[in-house]
Structure 1
């Protein structure tokens, strides 16, 4: 039950309880006053003695007359009490319903700042930390809550921005010495007097250098993929899937993995470069974490107005509880550090998750019964 509904019910229940108590008190007071105004038996006899000579009636006639008057008075009093009770109950019901409606409106007005905080928190969680609530109004509890939330967002924004800036700067600074190392190694290996051992050592060092360059490129992409696209453009996932699959055809052939592409039109809005990196990482992951003679199926389609990308590969069996670890940086399914993996640097699926998040896409990975994964990404 929503908080607004609960507040309305509490307000309405309190009003009806107070109204019922007030109606009961009024009823008891009216009944007490009416009972006090009725003549007592002794008063009736005294009135009979005083009025008998003036009215010219016998004592029996006067007694009957007084009994008749008392009976009619009691009937009128009972009718009055019933009318008071029914009228009070009807008025309580009508005013109570009006009070419930008024309480519903007032609860909505009071909770409106909380809805604004919730909407902002949802947008911030899905997109970026730059948005603020900026609640206007009196300096009450809700205003202080909104200001505290804005302050927390500002601190988080500065922290994440500093982290992204550090990763980007460090990656840029590291790319220069790696490029120099690659050049020196290639020159040394190309020397005429370079021996077999020198060339072998240079080849091994070039492989290590290349792995470090891939790591830095992955860190740069991961740092830049945490921001929502500034100017989203229409992108057809079918074109991206076909283009990227063709680029990985040679690697798939070397790994003895059969690639099947079913590219139906699936248009979404976003950053074309980031979406291409997402598709490329999924295809590379499906090839490199496969088995000889395995298969990789890539499909794009529009389902219920949403662009869907599905990548299914064979490979080793993955437990369901290991799925979350696959999307963490530098982690593999068994929970071990995978920086030393020759198949990658451990950032592929982390970049996929980051790109999907900033595009408001739903990412799901399900292990196949015979091994491998089925990864589905649905874009707005």
Structure 2
């Protein structure tokens, strides 16, 4: 036989602050009401007399000294009229005393019972007003909490920092808290903007000497008097220069993709996947990697160039970090259940530990002991993928593939088009 489930009431420390304040207001009111009712009852009992004393009989004494043998005078009975009826005085006294006692008991009972009912009703009304007052008092705190929650829910660390509480009202403790929060967020916003500007400016400044160095090396290599050693050295220098250019280009793209995409156009990820697979076919053939393309309609909206870079980095990463000749790479696009777009890239390759997967999306982080700048890239490919996905309000996840390699899935929101007119 199943036991009946016990009703578990929430602990006081688990209740919302508004409910706790309401309970405090209502409890204090009820306590003060009970004390007031008790004091009133005590004063009532002290002030109301317990009963009146009545003279039952009046003895009419004879004049002079009665002679022996003379009988004593009989008491003279007195009568009063109560409600038109003639009643003897002793019976009336007893009746009045009983009525007075009954009236006192009824008044005390009425004071306690009806006063208690009124106290409960007024206490409930006071608790309702306490709920409303607590809501008004906590409204600024809710505004602070909602703003902080929107900033924390931003897809990237630098997003959402333009939000401000801008609380209006009297200069009290809550407004001081809101103003302090706004000041902190403003400083963080300036810090992130400065960091992005620094990366972009530094990358632009570094491009100039690299371009100049590449031109000088090419001129020296193509001279008629250039020996084989000079040409071989020039080829090595051009390869190093190309790696540096890729690094700087990746930094620029990473800085640009951290910004939110404001202008979005409809894009079919199936077309982008087909285009990128065709572009990287030569690189995949040279690496001995077989690419399998599985495309289905996957509509979304955004910046087509950034989305192409996202897919290109995923495919390029799958080719370069594959298991070598005989490896496979599967690139697929499909529509998400909610109407968005999904791009999935699965590659064979070395075993990847689950705890290593999150670090692959950090800038300049590579799997294993490969150096940051190598023939396999600069360690910015997946970082750019994550930045582009976040800029389009999407998500990117990765998990180790059974037997080695990686499965990377990018989910983008549906195209929120509006009807014309």
Q: TM-score if structure 2 supplies the norm length?
A: 0.79
1:331 matched to 2:362:
no
1:182-261 map, 5 Å:
182-261=214-293
Equivalent position to 1:48, from 31, 48, 54: 54
| CA shift in 2, pair 1:30/1:365, >3 Å | same
Once residues 146 and 108 of structure 1 are traced to their aligned partners in structure 2, the CA distance between those partners, rounded to angstroms, is 12
* 1:13 corresponds to: 23
Number of equivalenced pairs: 373
The higher radius of gyration belongs to 2
* 2:93 corresponds to: 62
Q: CA deviation at 1:175?
A: 2.2
| CA shift in 2, pair 1:131/1:74, >3 Å | closer
2:54 is paired with a residue of what secondary structure? helix
Q: Is the Cα contact below 8 Å between 1:114 and 1:142 reproduced in 2?
A: no
Q: CA deviation at 1:30?
A: 2.9
Once residues 172 and 330 of structure 1 are traced to their aligned partners in structure 2, the CA distance between those partners, rounded to angstroms, is 19
Q: CA deviation at 1:261?
A: 1.7
| CA shift in 2, pair 1:205/1:120, >3 Å | closer
Equivalent position to 1:93, from 124, 135, 147: 124
Q: Is the Cα contact below 8 Å between 1:133 and 1:150 reproduced in 2?
A: yes
Which structure is higher in helix share? 1
Once residues 192 and 8 of structure 1 are traced to their aligned partners in structure 2, the CA distance between those partners, rounded to angstroms, is 86
| CA shift in 2, pair 1:166/1:111, >3 Å | closer
* 1:315 corresponds to: 349
| CA shift in 2, pair 1:233/1:149, >3 Å | farther
1:342 matched to 2:348:
no
Once residues 129 and 198 of structure 2 are traced to their aligned partners in structure 1, the CA distance between those partners, rounded to angstroms, is 60
Q: CA deviation at 1:118?
A: 3.9
Where does structure 2 lack aligned partners over 5 or more consecutive residues?
1-9, 59-76, 80-87, 414-421
Once residues 347 and 338 of structure 1 are traced to their aligned partners in structure 2, the CA distance between those partners, rounded to angstroms, is 12
1:296 matched to 2:329:
yes
| CA shift in 2, pair 1:37/1:130, >3 Å | closer
Once residues 158 and 301 of structure 2 are traced to their aligned partners in structure 1, the CA distance between those partners, rounded to angstroms, is 16
1:71 matched to 2:71:
no
2:260 is paired with a residue of what secondary structure? coil
Once residues 205 and 349 of structure 2 are traced to their aligned partners in structure 1, the CA distance between those partners, rounded to angstroms, is 37
CA RMSD in angstroms, aligned pairs only: 2.8
* 1:82 corresponds to: 113
Once residues 121 and 315 of structure 2 are traced to their aligned partners in structure 1, the CA distance between those partners, rounded to angstroms, is 72
| CA shift in 2, pair 1:242/1:126, >3 Å | farther
Once residues 240 and 354 of structure 1 are traced to their aligned partners in structure 2, the CA distance between those partners, rounded to angstroms, is 18
Equivalent position to 2:403, from 367, 370, 373: 370
Once residues 179 and 210 of structure 2 are traced to their aligned partners in structure 1, the CA distance between those partners, rounded to angstroms, is 46
Where does structure 1 lack aligned partners over 5 or more consecutive residues?
none
* 1:155 corresponds to: 187
158-167 vs 218-227, greater mean Cα deviation: 158-167
Q: CA deviation at 1:317?
A: 0.8
Q: Is the Cα contact below 8 Å between 2:348 and 2:405 reproduced in 1?
A: yes
* 1:30 corresponds to: 40
Once residues 17 and 67 of structure 1 are traced to their aligned partners in structure 2, the CA distance between those partners, rounded to angstroms, is 40
Once residues 97 and 70 of structure 1 are traced to their aligned partners in structure 2, the CA distance between those partners, rounded to angstroms, is 40
| CA shift in 2, pair 1:250/1:69, >3 Å | same
Once residues 107 and 294 of structure 2 are traced to their aligned partners in structure 1, the CA distance between those partners, rounded to angstroms, is 90
* CA deviation map 1:289-336 (0-9, x unaligned): 0113122111222211222211111111111111122111221123x4
Q: CA deviation at 1:348?
A: 0.8
Once residues 290 and 116 of structure 1 are traced to their aligned partners in structure 2, the CA distance between those partners, rounded to angstroms, is 44
| CA shift in 2, pair 1:338/1:142, >3 Å | farther
1:48 is paired with a residue of what secondary structure? coil
Once residues 311 and 145 of structure 1 are traced to their aligned partners in structure 2, the CA distance between those partners, rounded to angstroms, is 47
| CA shift in 2, pair 1:323/1:207, >3 Å | same
Once residues 15 and 402 of structure 2 are traced to their aligned partners in structure 1, the CA distance between those partners, rounded to angstroms, is 46
